[in-house]
Structure 1
Amino acid sequence: MNIKEQLLNLKPYQPGKPIEEVKREYGLDKIVKLASNENPYGCSEKAKEAVKNNIDSFAIYPDGYATELREKLAKHLGVDGTQLLFGNGSDDVIHIITTALLAPGKNTVMANPTFSQYKHNAVIEGAEVREVELIEGNHDLDGMLQQIDENTEIIWVCSPNNPTGVYVNSDKLHRFLKQVPEHVLIIMDEAYYEFAAKEQDYPNTVSLLNDYPNLLILRTFSKAYGLGGLRVGYAIGNSDFINKIEPVRQPFNSNRVGQIAASAALDDQDFIKAYVEKNKQGLQQFYKFCEEHKLSYYPSFGNFILINFEQSGDEVFHYLLERGFIVRSGNPLGFPNSVRITVGTEEQNRELIALLTEMLENQKN
C-alpha cells in the first residue's frame, strides 16, 4: 500500500492526558484537568435538559443539514442560514476547507506558533506551508502579506491566538483585509470569540462579510459553551463559497446530541456572560502570581494563559501532573520554556498556584 509520502513523518494530534489515565499512572484520587481549554463550569443546564428530553431519539441519524441549529444560530448571528457550515468541531471544518482548497503546488500562510491543525491538514494535502513568526504573541500581518503569491489559497488568522491568547485589533485587521488579494481565502479563527468580544477594539468580523467575500470566520461551541465533548464547530462566510465546499462535508458530521445541546445552549446567554466574567477574575489570579514571581506572560483574551517559567515546560508539566493537575507543556506548542494553563474555578486556580509557588520556592533553596 502506498501511503502519501507527507504522512510518513507526520504525528497525530496529541491531546492532553485523560483523567483516568493519570489516576492510574500516579495512584491519585483527585485530578484537575486544566490542559484543553475546557469550561470548568460545564455547560448550560438548558443544554443538559434538552439532551435528557431527547434520549429516545439517539437511534435516529441526525439532520445532516442541522436545520434547527442552523436557523437559531443564523438568527443569533444576524446572518442567513446559507452562510453557515457545520462540522464535528472546528477541527472538522478546518479539514473540510483544506481538502477543498489545498493541493500540491498551492501554499498557505499562517503564524508560528498558532493552532497546529492548520499546518497539519495542509501537509496532508501536499501544500506548501509558509509560517511567519509571532511578534510579542501576535500575528505579524505585514510579514504574512509578504508571503502571499499567485499560488496562495488560504491565510490563517487565529484571534485570539492559541496558545498566546492575544488578538488582532480592529484597525490592524481592516488594514490587512484591504491588502489581501481576492483569490486568497482569509480565515479568522475565533474559537475564543466570546472571551474577547466585549473588548472595545475587538473586530466585529461578521459585519465585514459583505465587504470581503473571501473572508471566512470559524467559531465553536467547545470553549465558552462547554460542549467540547459533543463536537460542534461552524464557519460563517459567503453563501456561494459555503455551497461550493459543502460536498466535502461528510453526510452526518454534526451529531444529533451536539445539535440538540448547541441549540439549547444558545438560549442561555446568561451562562456565557457569567462564565466570561469568572474567567476574567481567574486570569487576574494568574496575573498576580506571575507578577509576584516575576514571570513573563501574555495578557490573555481566551480562557487560558501561557506562562514562561524560564525552565523546561515539560518539567513543570510533570511536576504538576504528579500532584494531580494536568496542564499543557509549551514544548509542543512552540514555547519550550512555558506552560499553557486553562483558567479553572477560583478554587482550582488557587490550588494550582499554591503548587507552582511551592515549586518555585523549592528551586530557590
Structure 2
Amino acid sequence: MMSLVRPELSGIKPYVPGKPIDEVKRELGLETVVKLASNENPYKVPDAVLEAAKRALSEMHRYPDAASYHLVRAIAKKLGVSPDEVIVGNGSEYIIDTLMKVFVSPGDEVVYAVPSFVVYRIAASVMGAKRVEVPCKDYRHDLEAMAEAITDKTKLVFVCNPNNPTGTIVRRDELDQFFASVEGKRLLVVMDEAYFEYAKDPNYPDGLQYFRRYGNVVVLRTFSKIYGLAGLRIGYGIAPKEIVSIYNTIREVFAVNVVAQAAALAALKEDAYVSWVSMKVYEEKKKLYEALSKMGLPYVESEANFVLIKVRDSKLAFEEMLKRGVVVRPTDSFDLPNHIRVTVGTPEENEVFLKALKELLPLLR
C-alpha cells in the first residue's frame, strides 16, 4: 500500500507535541507532574468564559455555525477590520495548512526562518513545495537574508513574531526594511503572531499595521495561548478579502466547533484577564532570568511566554526533568540541539522547575 502514498510525504518528520500530563504520570508512576512544554496559559480562564462553554454544550447535538458569524464579527470589531477580512479555523496550524492549499503547488517555494515553528516545514512538504530555510542569526530572524532568498517561485514567506522556539522578535525598523525590499513581488507574507499579547518591547511591531499598508499580508493570531483555550483549538487571522473568500471556499465546512466559538466569543471581552496574565508571565519570567543567571545557564530573553535555555545535552535534560515530574521541550525537532524550551508557569510550577534544574546543574552545564 505504501506505493500508493504521495512521494511528497516520504521523509516528513511529524510534529512532536509536549508530553501530556496523564501520559507522564502513567509512564513514570508519578502523582504530580508540572507541564512546561507546550507554551500554554497555566491560569484558569475567567468564569464568564467557562460558563459560555458550558452553555454551548447543550447544543452539542447540532452542527456549529459554519461561518462562525458572531465570532467573526466580534474579532473584526475588536481589531478594526471588516468581517470579510477575518478567517477562523481549528487552531492556527489549520489556517497555515489551508493557506498552503490555497497558494502552493509542487515546486513553489516557501521561505521561513530556522529554528521556527515546525508546522511551516511540515505543511510545505505536504504540498510538495521547495522549503527555503533561512538560518536565524543570534536566535533572531535574519530578514535581510530572507529577502535575498526570495525568487520568482516564492509563494509564501512566514515571519513568526515573537518567534517560537526562541522568543525573540523582529523589530519594527527591520520589518519596515523587509517590506520595502519585497514590495511589488508576487508573494504572500504571513505574520504569525501567536504570542502577540505577551510582547512588551516598545519596538515590537503590530502586524495589522502592515496588513493595512500592503495588499499581500496575512496576520495570524490564536485563542490557544494567552486566552487559555488551547484545549478547544481555535485560531484566527486577518487577510485581504479575496483571500478570505478562497479560504472559506476550500476550508472544512465546520472548522470551529460550537464550544470553541462560544468560549472565544466570551474570551474576547476579557481584556483585564489578558492584561493580568501578560503581566504575571512577565514578572515570573524575570524571576526565571535571575535564577538562570545565578546558575550560570545561558538563556535567550523572550517576548513570549517561554524561555529558551542552552544546556549541554537536551535529551538528557528532558529525560532527567521528566523523572522529577517536570515536562520541558527539547528543541532538537526545531533543528536547535543543546537547548530546552520552558513555558513560564505559575509561581509554584516555576519553583518546582527551578528546584529540579538546580539538582541537574552538574549534568547540564
TM-score bucket (shorter structure): over 0.9
Deviates more, 1:342-351 or 1:205-214: 205-214
The count of aligned residue pairs is 362
- Residue 193 of structure 1 corresponds to which residue in structure 2? 196
Give yes or no for contact 1:102–1:153 (8 Å, CA) kept in 2: yes
1:208, CA displacement in angstroms?
2.5
- Residue 88 of structure 1 corresponds to which residue in structure 2? 90
1:210, CA displacement in angstroms?
2.6
Give yes or no for contact 1:44–1:225 (8 Å, CA) kept in 2: no
Give yes or no for contact 1:317–1:327 (8 Å, CA) kept in 2: yes
Residues 256-271 of structure 1 mapped to structure 2, 5 A cutoff: 256-271=258-273
For residues 304 and 220 of structure 2, the distance between their equivalents in structure 1, rounded to whole angstroms, comes to 15
In structure 2, give the amino acid aligned to 1:253.
A
- Residue 328 of structure 1 corresponds to which residue in structure 2? 329
For residues 260 and 36 of structure 1, the distance between their equivalents in structure 2, rounded to whole angstroms, comes to 24
- Residue 61 of structure 2 corresponds to which residue in structure 1? 59
1:354, CA displacement in angstroms?
1.1
- Residue 346 of structure 1 corresponds to which residue in structure 2? 347
Residues 237-256 of structure 1 mapped to structure 2, 5 A cutoff: 237-256=239-258
For residues 47 and 180 of structure 2, the distance between their equivalents in structure 1, rounded to whole angstroms, comes to 43
Matching residue within 168, 183, 188 for 2:186: 183
Q: Does 1:276 align with 2:278?
A: yes
Residues 15-164 of structure 1 mapped to structure 2, 5 A cutoff: 15-164=17-166
Unmatched 5+ stretches in structure 1: none
Q: 4+ runs of 1 displaced by more than 6 Å?
A: none
Residues 5-24 of structure 1 mapped to structure 2, 5 A cutoff: 5-24=7-26
Cα deviation, 1:255-312, whole Å, max 9, x if unaligned, reads 1100000000011111111100110111112101221122211110111000002x11
- Residue 337 of structure 1 corresponds to which residue in structure 2? 338
Give yes or no for contact 1:104–1:127 (8 Å, CA) kept in 2: yes
Give yes or no for contact 2:114–2:334 (8 Å, CA) kept in 1: no
Cα deviation, 1:47-81, whole Å, max 9, x if unaligned, reads 10111223211111111110111111111111111
TM-score (norm 1): 0.96
For residues 213 and 278 of structure 1, the distance between their equivalents in structure 2, rounded to whole angstroms, comes to 36
1:362, CA displacement in angstroms?
7.1
TM-score (norm 2): 0.96
1:361, CA displacement in angstroms?
4.8
For residues 113 and 363 of structure 2, the distance between their equivalents in structure 1, rounded to whole angstroms, comes to 37
Deviates more, 1:46-55 or 1:88-97: 46-55
Give yes or no for contact 1:314–1:330 (8 Å, CA) kept in 2: no
1:341, CA displacement in angstroms?
0.4
For residues 340 and 69 of structure 1, the distance between their equivalents in structure 2, rounded to whole angstroms, comes to 33
In structure 1, give the amino acid aligned to 2:333.
P
Question: Identity of aligned pairs, percent?
Answer: 39
For residues 132 and 12 of structure 1, the distance between their equivalents in structure 2, rounded to whole angstroms, comes to 21
Give yes or no for contact 2:114–2:135 (8 Å, CA) kept in 1: yes
In structure 2, give the amino acid aligned to 1:187.
V
For residues 199 and 237 of structure 1, the distance between their equivalents in structure 2, rounded to whole angstroms, comes to 25
Give yes or no for contact 2:139–2:166 (8 Å, CA) kept in 1: yes
Deviates more, 1:111-120 or 1:198-207: 198-207
Q: Kindly tell me: are residues 150 and 28 of structure 1, through their superposed partners in 2, closer, same or farther at Cα, counting changes over 3 Å?
A: same
